[in-house]
Homo-oligomer: A and B are copies of this chain.
Amino acid sequence: MGTTPTSTRAPISPERGPDLPIGVFDSGVGGLTVLRAIRAALPNESTIYLGDTARVPYGTKSRESVLRYSLQASRQLVERGIKLLVVACNTASALSLPELRAELAPLPVLGVVEPGAEAAVAASAAQRHLVLATEATVAQRAYTRSIRALAPRAEVEELACSLFVALAEEGWTHGEVVAAAARAYLGAVVARPERERPDSVILGCTHFPLLADVIRAELGPRPSIVDSATATARAVGVLLDRDALATSARSAPGDLRLLVTDGGARFARLGSRFLGETFQVSDVEVVDL
């Protein structure tokens, strides 16, 4: 793909910047839903993905650990040459975006929280939002801050749905168990009078788009369901245009490289379902951070 290592501090040279890949970093396999949305929206762009599978999940770890892991993973991608970093992990986006931006400047760094919040505000008439996420993302209240920055009087409720992660990884995205889990998490919300129910529900974890049908079935047809992955892919396109970083290869499909920090077998087995494209363990490179 013609990427040579560049220094951490000056990752983009003006001549070749646009044809470098987009870097996508996640704690594991979940960010492949964000990669999928980016590849669907920007099919000519090359991408390089790093899943920190040796330390997954971030969603139940402390701020300090998440920050340290995020910096290590991002530096790995920057060293391989990228024109833009997408932090696909909601937890890492919520906890470490300012630090990553400061550390990697002038490289543009995009998280999933801000695009998700923007899309939710745009989709909501009543500005009553419900954020479904991991424990760590919820504890950070990053969606609440991002939504209120755009709609100061918005009501925002954040709900930790940890089991959804395990369900998506187990492949139990339909059926009795996931329906019961959706009921357990969302039943109290659904039981409220209509005017107290959210009209916007944000899937604030990369795993949750796989459970969108079940979540929709539990919530009924009324609320908008906003997927941060799709919103982020749109934001990537806007940023590439703004900074004149869109690839010059407008006719060929973009390359894809997949890196993980732990054995790639499980990543390959689960990953095709998240990415929506089949790949093998031989397509995955294992790196040490």
Which B residues are CB-close (under 8 A) to A162? Answer: 166, 169-170
CB of A60 within 8 A of chain B?
Answer: yes
Which B residues are CB-close (under 8 A) to A175? Answer: 184
- State A184–B176 Cα separation when bound (angstroms): 8
Interface string of A174-217 (1 = CB under 8 A from B): 01110011011000000000000000000000000000000000
Which B residues are CB-close (under 8 A) to A65? Answer: 54, 262-263
* Chain A, range 48-88, C-beta contacts under 8 Å to B: 53-56, 60-65
CB of A167 within 8 A of chain B?
Answer: yes
Which B residues are CB-close (under 8 A) to A165? Answer: 166
Contact with A135, one of B53, B183, B266 (Cβ below 8 angstroms): B266
Interface string of A137-175 (1 = CB under 8 A from B): 000000000000000000000000011011101101001
CB of A40 within 8 A of chain B?
Answer: no
Which B residues are CB-close (under 8 A) to A177? Answer: 163, 177, 180-181, 184
Interface string of A245-289 (1 = CB under 8 A from B): 000000000000000001101100000000000000000000000
- State A167–B166 Cα separation when bound (angstroms): 9
- State A167–B167 Cα separation when bound (angstroms): 10
Count the copies. Answer: 2
Which B residues are CB-close (under 8 A) to A176? Answer: 180, 183-184
Interface string of A24-65 (1 = CB under 8 A from B): 000000000000000000000000000001111000111111
- State A262–B57 Cα separation when bound (angstroms): 13
Interface range, A side = 20 to 34
Report whether B63 and A263 are in contact in the complex, using a CB–CB cutoff of 8 Å. yes
Contact with A61, one of B53, B64, B167, B184 (Cβ below 8 angstroms): B53
Q: Which of A166, A167, A169, A184 has the most CB of B within 10 A?
A: A166
Q: A60-B266, A62-B263 are in contact. Are A172 and B166 (CB under 8 A)?
A: no
For the complex formed, measure the closest distance between the CB of A108 and the CB atoms of chain B, giving whole angstroms.
Answer: 30
Report whether B263 and A61 are in contact in the complex, using a CB–CB cutoff of 8 Å. yes
Which B residues are CB-close (under 8 A) to A262? Answer: 61-62, 64-65
Which B residues are CB-close (under 8 A) to A183? Answer: 176
Which B residues are CB-close (under 8 A) to A61? Answer: 53-54, 262-263
Report whether B172 and A64 are in contact in the complex, using a CB–CB cutoff of 8 Å. no
Would you mind naming 12 contact pairs between A and B with Cβ atoms under 8 Å apart?
A: A54-B61, A61-B263, A62-B262, A62-B263, A64-B262, A65-B263, A135-B266, A162-B166, A163-B166, A163-B172, A165-B166, A166-B167
Other A-B pairs, 17, CB within 8 Å; known A55-B55, A61-B263, A166-B166: A53-B61, A54-B55, A54-B65, A56-B60, A62-B262, A162-B166, A162-B169, A163-B163, A163-B166, A163-B170, A163-B177, A165-B166, A166-B167, A172-B184, A176-B183, A177-B181, A177-B184
